[in-house]
């Protein structure tokens, strides 16, 4: 298929290479030459690549700013819980909670640096101690 064939409006017709007539929408008679090859994958919106974090927001600087704020918040939570553990002692449940926040922080660092997170199968976290009974027990 030649470039002239790609600009044709109907099958088995060829374009003559003349620009369109001047119109209100196109007074300069501009028309792009069509390319017979398809656009590369993920270069056209909606054709893939939406799973990458850089495509979560259109502004990558704003995305990094949000990741930075979340990283600071997770760091603050971890340091507050660890300082409370040092002063009052800790239980297995508190240790598991701090470990979970540290895991989130590690995953966030991985996402913000590489743009991807390794998908791991979700396993039940057995390290969290279950307390007996609930708020309302019979």
In a domain, 107, yes or no: yes
* pTM, entire model: 0.48
Domain that holds residue 112: 52-120
Q: Which residue has the tokens 């054709």?
A: 47
Q: Is residue 43 part of a domain?
A: no
Higher pLDDT, 136 or 59: 59
What is the number of domains present in the chain? 1
**Tokens 């640096």 identify what position?**
113
* Strand boundaries in the chain, DSSP class E: none
Where residue 25 falls among pLDDT bands split at 50, 70, 90?
Answer: confident
128 inside domain = no
Residue 41 lies in a domain: no
How far is it, in rounded angstroms, from Cα 99 to Cα 104? Answer: 9
Beta-carbon contacts of residue 117 (< 8 Å; ≥ 6 apart): 107, 110, 111
Kindly state whether residue 71 falls inside one of the protein's structural domains.
yes
Asked if 117 and 107 touch (Cβ cutoff 8 Å), the reply is yes
Domain for residue 78, yes or no?
yes
Q: Which tens digit of pLDDT belongs to each residue from 63-84?
A: 889 999 999 999 999 999 888 8
């Amino acid at each position: 298929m030649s470039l002239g064939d790609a600009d044709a409006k109907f099958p088995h017709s060829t374009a003559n290479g003349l620009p369109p007539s001047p119109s209100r929408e196109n007074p300069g008679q501009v028309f792009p030459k069509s390319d017979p090859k398809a656009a590369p994958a993920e270069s056209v919106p909606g054709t893939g690549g939406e799973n990458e974090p850089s495509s979560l927001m259109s502004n990558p600087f704003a995305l990094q700013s949000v990741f930075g704020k979340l990283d600071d918040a997770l760091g603050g939570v971890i340091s507050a819980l660890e300082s409370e553990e040092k002063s009052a002692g800790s239980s297995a449940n508190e240790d598991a909670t701090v470990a979970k926040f540290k895991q989130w922080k590690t995953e966030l660092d991985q996402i913000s640096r590489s743009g991807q997170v390794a998908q791991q199968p979700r396993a039940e976290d057995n390290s969290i101690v279950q307390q007996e009974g609930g708020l309302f027990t019979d």
